[in-house]
Amino acid sequence: MADCLFCNIVEGKIPARRVYEDERTVAFEDINPQAPTHVLIIPRKHIAGLKEAGEPDAELLGYCQLVAAKIARQRGIEQGYRTVYNVGPGAGQSVFHLHLHLIGGRDLRWPPG
């Protein structure tokens, strides 16, 4: 989608600090990190968010989680990290291209705010 920020990052039209990419996903550093590791894992395919995803997207959603686990392993933060989808404005979703937050590298409290 031409006017989607994260589609533009996928296409390289907007710069981002990429940490991983493959044929289905791109992962890059969050511009406003909330922890020492704060990486966003996104599908190359435009999906607005989790509630807009359908059953054909099930494998892709699971794959994003596995990419997050791979990055966490590479960074040595497996003592404790979190993968999060913010779903809808009430949960803080501000970019409407599906993105999985990988947050770690510090103690994480529960429940999140």
Quick one: 83 or 86, whose CB is closer to ligand 5GP? 86
Out of 4, 19, 61, 87, point to the residue binding Zn ion (CB under 5 A): 4
Place of tokens 């913010």: 86
What is the H or E stretch that residue 26 is in? strand 25-29
Query: Which of 63, 66, 56, 50 shows the shortest CA–CA distance to 99?
Result: 50
Q: Which stretch binds ligand 5GP (CB under 6 A): 23-31, 58-66, 74-82, 103-111?
A: 23-31
Rounded to an integer, what distance in angstroms lies between the CA atom of residue 64 and that of residue 97? 13
Site for Zn ion (CB under 5 A): which residue of 24, 38, 46, 70?
46
46 is catalytic: no
Both tokens assigned to 30 = 């969050």
Length of the chain: 113
Residue 4 or 60 having the CB closest to ligand 5GP: 4
Backbone angles phi, psi at 93, to 5 degrees: -65, 125
79: contact with ligand 5GP by CB under 6 A: no
Residue 95 interacts with Zn ion (CB under 5 A): yes or no: no
Q: How many residues bind Zn ion (CB under 5 A)?
A: 6
State the catalytic residues. Answer: 99
